[in-house]
Chains A and B, each alone.
Chain A
Amino acid sequence: MGLFWFYFRKGYRVVRNEVLVLPSRVVLVLFVATLLLLPAFTQDPYVLRILILTSIFAILAASWDLLSGYTGQMNFGHALFFGVGAYTAALLNLHGHIPPWGSIPLGGLAAVLAGLIIGIPCLRLRGTYLALTTLAFPIILMGIVFALPGFTGGELGISGLSRLSHSRIWDYYITVVLMLILCTVMWKITDSNTGIIFHAIREDELAVRAAGINTTRYKLLAFSLSGFFAGLSGGLYAHFMRIAGPSTLEVSMSFTVVIWAIFGGIVTIYGPVGAVFILFPMLEFFRFWPEYRTLMFAGVVLLILLYMPEGLLPWIRDKIEVQCPRCKIRNVATRKICRICTAPLD
């Protein structure tokens, strides 16, 4: 009993001193709790379906940020990883009879391979050149998919995959929990030493090379890591929709990922995730005016960008939190002095 009270008090202290002091952390905790507890309030299959797709795309957008935001390797062909993951999972599931828990990670590994293959020609290109070149890869693959309809299903895609699980609720928990875990992993990666090198490559590649770091290896690492996460989301998508079609490789797919990530704010991981959770359900909400749906989507993106060119979430975060000028710790904007070092905030 004493042990229980000890942990209770400890937990309470952590919540009061570490979580409640910053609005962004409160929002994060509320977000995770809402996602996990939602099925207790509504089991509407439509709502669950939207949230499942949102979670899948959140992984995709965060993986774009890992590559293009952190390392600065602008990737306009992120649909390639998504499509390779989806098609590999679908083919393995249909022809190899591998259940989803095996085919999805294998799809991720296939996407790693794709990342290495496109990484090699792209290592010598930079900035806009790289962006325009990467756009080509999903289109090349799409041509191959169309040219081999016997193997890939052509325009119709591969359908009849096995379900992720036997019920919608389980589908929901699998994707949401996976999304939370994978995004945490990505966030941890970007926080680690490797992540710092990624940052540095974006800021000044020459300086990183001069510091004796093999930037080629790290760029390939970024390509394959990002490919792995995007491939996982592709596999999840294929098994949830029970079809892997050429729509996963379309140019608009690649563009949508870029829109999500930059809209939410790059180099944050939480930004793209938040953006998907705002934009994707919003697009569903616009279905009440089906003809104007995409137009309204484009309009919202344009208008928000005019006022927040750095992205939505970092802009909000800067409004509600300030950084202490002395110890660089974040504080609530309402505080007058820093909560750690008591330096005055301004």
Chain B
Amino acid sequence: MRGAMFLDILITGLISGSVYALLAIGFSLIFGVARIVNIAHTAFYMLAAYCIFFVVQKGGFHPIWGMLAAFVIVTLLGLLVYKLFIDPIREHEGAVLIGTIALAIAMQEFMLLWFTGDYVSVPALIKGYVAISGVKVLYQQLLTFGMVIVILFALWALLMKTRLGLAIRATAEDREVANLMGMNDSRVAMTAMGVSVALAAITGAIIAPLTILTPFMWMHPLIMMMAVVVLGGMGSIKGSFAGAYILGFAEAIVVFLIPKGAFLKGSVALSIMILVLLIRPEGLFGIAFEEER
């Protein structure tokens, strides 16, 4: 019994930690490069999940097509929205902030109109499960975890091994100097936005079979994603990674071990974040710049 619960906690923590990690990395990417606090980030994640639902349940295609469609459509939509609504007001920090909030609300309302508020679900890519000491581990969960590792590796390669990654990192470090070195600032920002939204879309696509879809599913990940970013230190991929698993496991432990834990999971995870901030205001792996924070 105890072992089973331990395994449950392990799996839940790993899955939600992975989701938070992918979301937080995407969020801090666009924040680092363009100083945009993109509240609508998890709304794209919600859109991707619904995109799969639409292709699979309404169109009758295999889930893999749904995932591809979600990836392409949501990324293009993200770029379009960026060009139309965020780019023109990029210099005004406050305007960008409420612009992205309004965007997220608009997307939520669109989905509410289109698919209504009913809870829906998406079939798994690979059906079936393996039983480990009495605990069902879905193949989909193993697949999700495997894909998270692949995506994180690909992202690391993109940022560290390519010229584009170098440009993104340089712009994040110092926009003006990067501009002087011949990097097209707005194009780098556009690319970073594309990568960031694509990450949100992939996250939504791989987690969709494991959760219940509602137009409001972006709220909770948004809060946890922001907590992860703050906890890990903004702009640090290593920090986002560590922070995400800390908060993911904290949530899982609270849900499984404390009665009424489902109500308290957010509170406990966020309290951990605040306690860490009291000791290390720059986050776990952040570097303290005097002007930045």
Binding site for B on A (CB under 8 A): 121, 124-133, 135-137, 139-144, 146-147, 206, 251, 255, 258-259, 262-263, 266, 291-292, 294-295, 297-299, 301-302, 305-306, 309-310
Contact = CB atoms under 8 A, between A and B. Distances in A.
Interface stretch (B85-93, B123-131, B139-147): B85-93
A136 B270 contact: yes
Given A295-B110, A310-B92, A139 B266 contact: yes
A111 to B, nearest CB: 19
A139 B251 CA distance: 14
A121 B292 contact: no
Contacts of A128: 31, 37, 234, 293
Given A125-B293, A135-B226, A306 B270 contact: no
Given A125-B293, A294-B109, A305-B89, A139 B264 contact: no
19 contacts: A121-B274, A124-B281, A126-B293, A129-B230, A129-B234, A143-B265, A144-B267, A147-B263, A251-B222, A255-B101, A255-B105, A258-B97, A258-B98, A262-B94, A266-B94, A291-B112, A292-B113, A298-B106, A301-B102
B56 interface: no
Contacts of A262: 94-95, 97-98
B274 A133 contact: yes
Interface residues of B, number: 49
The CB with the most chain A CB atoms within 10 A, among B98, B99, B110, B267, is that of B98
B8 to A, nearest CB: 21
A15 B101 CA distance: 42
Contacts, number: 131
Contacts of A297: 105
A143 B269 CA distance: 11
Contacts of A206: 290
A123 B293 CA distance: 10
Q: Which 3 A-B pairs have the closest CB atoms?
A: A143-B267, A146-B263, A136-B270
A135 B234 contact: no
A132 B85 contact: no
Given A126-B293, A139-B223, A258-B101, A133 B113 contact: no
Interface in B200-254: 219, 222-223, 226-227, 229-230, 234
Nearest to A136: B270
A125 to B, nearest CB: 6
A126 B292 CA distance: 7
Contacts of A306: 85, 88-89
B2 interface: no
A149 to B, nearest CB: 9
A127 B106 contact: no
Contact of B223 (A131, A136, A302): A136
B106 A299 contact: yes
A156 to B, nearest CB: 14
A133 B277 contact: yes
Given A136-B274, A309-B92, 19 more contacts: A121-B274, A125-B281, A127-B292, A129-B293, A133-B274, A136-B223, A142-B266, A146-B264, A255-B39, A262-B95, A262-B97, A263-B98, A295-B110, A301-B99, A305-B98, A306-B88, A306-B89, A309-B89, A309-B91
A263 B99 CA distance: 10
Given A125-B293, A143-B264, A147-B260, A305 B223 contact: no
Contacts of B223: 135-136, 139, 251
A131 B27 CA distance: 14
A319 to B, nearest CB: 18
B271 interface: yes
B103 interface: yes
B273 interface: yes
A187 B277 CA distance: 33
Given A295-B113, A298-B102, A310-B92, A121 B267 contact: no
A137 B267 CA distance: 8
A220 to B, nearest CB: 16
B132 interface: no
